[in-house]
Structure 1
């Protein structure tokens, strides 16, 4: 299948059937992609970062790792990663409250809005927002347990490929965060390929 573009600061919902792969390409480098997955038949069953951390017993992911739902069932597996492998499983998606805390006046695109809009486009609604898998996001954990936001390490053209372990709706948001260094100071398009 051909590459598809996800414009900067926007989101998209991509239906996947069990066994399909999605390659998420960091076209220009440094762009974070907030990623969610929802069971196609029951969106209340979804990719869960806290359950995945408990399952993997770590705060990062690597090739071969299977991510699980809030019901502890497999939903996605990392099958290839040409990036440095730095992804975040800790930080909540940006939303209007976060931008207000950062001093933004008026409306600012957010990953939460992108999630809701993308799901609405495919006729799905959710009552609460799960924490995302933040592909390519660099959140260093210091020896004292403190966190910081750092520039992503992913370079142009690097990618991460995920396999659907059930029929699901995968939602991606090309993160619109331009106040902190999360996206290296600018937001960019990404591309993806479903096979």
Structure 2
């Protein structure tokens, strides 16, 4: 592994500085919390749910190993949504404790912070695999048609499309994902690989909602990814598919006394234009 410094390095005191002690107080091991909602994402299906700012939500393995493809929007303004590529640059390509998921321009603020991860110690395996991946994106029926010449309706993109429709969103709102519990890396030819999910029953990834959120997740039709999805050895991995669980918690109000939802990125420039035709400041206020 290269020890070259990361390209995106912040000045001291920036929003990239995470108050780890604060987030540690919100975990299940640190404080008693109130469970306010539970959901099950069915096999080969998707689900969307709301999380108020200041709440915690947990994605968990409730049966066998399973990968989940995760999307996220500002509840009140779906134009503000999770930005996987910028999160990959500001945080890491595989995220874990204290990493934040960032929103798109012109908003650019933390939407959620990871506060607990039972796979945090997985590290890098012998093949270079790591978990909770921002490298790749969701499987979809369009690329499946390109690779196989066949239509196959069970894909994360399709699951997410159906999940968000009751909230007034469409296929155009579905975006690049966080692959929860997925183990991935780059091979010797710098190509993306996926391998069998290492998560087991009881494992979870937990987030603190920095703003009011609409979340959606697909229970990946690839299951635990132990079966090839494309290529000469590909077959339908239905037998490796399991449901996923979601829990939403309210934390003690006194723990949030000094916390506030992050503001939008404070850039006040006009992109170098003297008379800009678009007032981004007004647009951000309107949502």
TM-score by length of 2: 0.62
- Superposed CA offset, 1:40-77 (max 9, x none): 11111111111101212x21112011110113211011
Q: SS at the partner of 1:163?
A: strand
- Provide closer, same or farther for how the CA distance between residues 109 and 132 of structure 1 changes in structure 2, counting only shifts above 3 A: same
1:39–1:169 contact (8 Å) kept in structure 2: yes
Task: Give the whole-Å Cα distance in 2 for the aligned partners of 1:125 and 1:95.
Answer: 15
CA distance in 2, matches of 1:128, 1:12: 15
Structure 1 unaligned spans of 5+ = none
* Equivalent position SS for 2:58: strand
C-alpha separation in 2, matches of 1:109 and 1:181: 11
**2:101 counterpart residue number:** 67
Structure 2: gaps of 5 or more residues: 1-34, 124-130, 231-236, 250-287
Residue 216 of structure 2 corresponds to which residue in structure 1?
171
Structure 2 residue matching 1:91: 3-state secondary structure: coil
- Structure 1 contact 64–77 (Cα < 8 Å) conserved: yes
Q: Residue in 2 aligned with 1:194?
A: 248
Alpha-carbon distance change, 181 to 97 in structure 1, aligned in 2, over 3 angstroms? closer
Q: Distance in 2 between matches of 1:47 and 1:185?
A: 31
Greater gyration radius: 2
Match of 2:145 in 1: 100
Q: Which moved more, 1:78-87 or 1:120-129?
A: 120-129
Deviation at 1:138, TM superposition (A): 0.9
Residue of 37, 52, 58 corresponding to 2:72: 37
Aligned residue number for residue 78 of structure 1: 114
The alignment's C-alpha RMSD in Å is: 2.3
Distance 1:104 1:5 in 2: 33
TM-score, reference length from structure 1: 0.89
> How many pairs were matched up?
194
- CA distance 1:150–1:184, change in 2 (3 Å): farther
Q: Distance in 1 between matches of 2:69 and 2:194?
A: 15
Contact 2:71 2:174 in 1 (8 A): no
C-alpha deviation, 1:3, in angstroms: 3.6
8 Å contact kept, 1:151–1:181? no
Higher relative contact order (CA 8 A, sep 6+): 1
